[in-house]
Amino acid sequence: MNEFESAVRNVGGRMLSMGIDCIQVNVGLKCNQHCAHCHVEASSSRTEMMGWPVMEAVTEIASDLAVPLVDITGGAPELNCNLPGFIEKLKGTGRDVQVRTNLTVLVMPGMERVATFMREHEVRLVASLPCYLEQNVCAQRGTGVYDDSIKAMRLLNSLGYGIDGPSLDLVYNPLGAELPTSQEKLESDYRRELRERFGIEFSRLLTIANMPIGRYRRFLRERGSSEEYTSLLKSSFNKATINGLMCRHQVSVGWDGTLYDCDFNLALALPVNHGAPDHVTRFDADKLICRRIVTGEHCFGCTAGSGSSCAGSLV
Ligand code: SF4
Ligand code: SF4
């Protein structure tokens, strides 16, 4: 048993699935950005992209299981040319669909129709914006990202996103080697600043801790703060987060159809294990619904402080 599982067991918890309320689908690692904190190390040179047969298999599984939500991520999911067809197929089965967008892709030349398509299909959006200040966003996500993000949010607001249309949630993650501050407090800061500066509205702010893997691990090492950050995560272990951990309520599908407990395990190439089937072509709900989760030291990133998941803080 690893250190994380021992910590969970010591407070009476078990890292077992509690059901599948969401299927998270990583449709590819290609991205128009190259962020310093990216856990999947996405970039414009990545070529891994989900093909149509895997999307069809996922749609069938989502429909059979009647999962309430399919959460699509990447990379920049919009760069997968199969995305519109996938969304149409999923919506046809009555599933709620959410796409994680980096915003800037929506204002790239040639991508003008994407936001309107999302609106027409009532797709919920979760958008990365690690600060309401330009210098902080550009430091983490690249020059010009702030201006394009503002442009994209204005476009989305004009379509009703975050106002009277589908939800537009924003995602905050810290710039340095620290844990996110209070989600509630930060949300009111974001709302005030974005409204006053740009007249921009959004639905909710989700705070997410940086996972010490992928490009962020390198970022920490380069600054000599890798060990310090790992110690912070371990010493901030909060048992109240255990039942809400996203891996206990979802399954993740990689671009090639491999099944993972979460997108972080996907980034680490750690498929579901302990006897559970690890590919969409062998999907077995009975086995997956009670599976034992694959864990590691990185899992302390989800249980630190208020906890962290793709849906924000846990407590
Ligand atoms: S963090 Fe998001 S936007 Fe940035 S490189 Fe990774 S996938 Fe792309
Ligand atoms: S990293 Fe993944 S497997 Fe580990 S606790 Fe977080 S969600 Fe669960």
User: What percentage of the chain exceeds 90 in pLDDT?
Assistant: 96
* Separation between Cα atoms, residue 225 and residue 208, nearest integer Å: 19
* Separation between Cα atoms, residue 165 and residue 292, nearest integer Å: 38
Q: Is the pLDDT of residue 175 over 90?
A: no
Where is 171: in which H helix or E strand?
A: strand 168-172
Domain definitions of the chain by residue range:
3-303
Average of per-residue pLDDT across 224-228 = 94
Please check whether residue 124 is in contact with residue 165, taking contact to mean a CB–CB distance below 8 angstroms: no
**Residues 108, 113, 119: CA angle, nearest 5 degrees:** 115
| pTM of full prediction above 0.85 | yes
Q: Is 254 in the pocket of ligand 1 (CB under 6 A)?
A: no
Question: What is 3-303's CATH number?
Answer: 3.20.20.70
24, 29, 31, best to mutate for ligand 1 pocket (most atoms within 8 Å of CB): 31
pLDDT at 300: 98
pLDDT at 18: 97
Please check whether residue 25 is in contact with residue 3, taking contact to mean a CB–CB distance below 8 angstroms: no
Average of per-residue pLDDT across 175-193 = 94
pLDDT at 176: 86
pLDDT band at 113 (very low <50, low <70, confident <90, very high): very high
38, 73, 137, best to mutate for ligand 1 pocket (most atoms within 8 Å of CB): 38
pLDDT at 118: 98
Locate 248 and state its tokens: 């206990």
Q: Is 20 in the pocket of ligand 2 (CB under 6 A)?
A: no
Integer angstrom CA distances of residue 255 from 28, 43, 63, 162, 264: 5, 15, 19, 29, 14
pLDDT at 224: 93
Q: What is the number of the ligand 1 atom nearest to the C-alpha of 74?
A: 7
pLDDT per position as a tens digit, 56-75:
999 999 999 999 999 999 99
Q: Give the residue whose CA is nearest to atom 3 of ligand 1.
A: 102
Average of per-residue pLDDT across 128-142 = 93
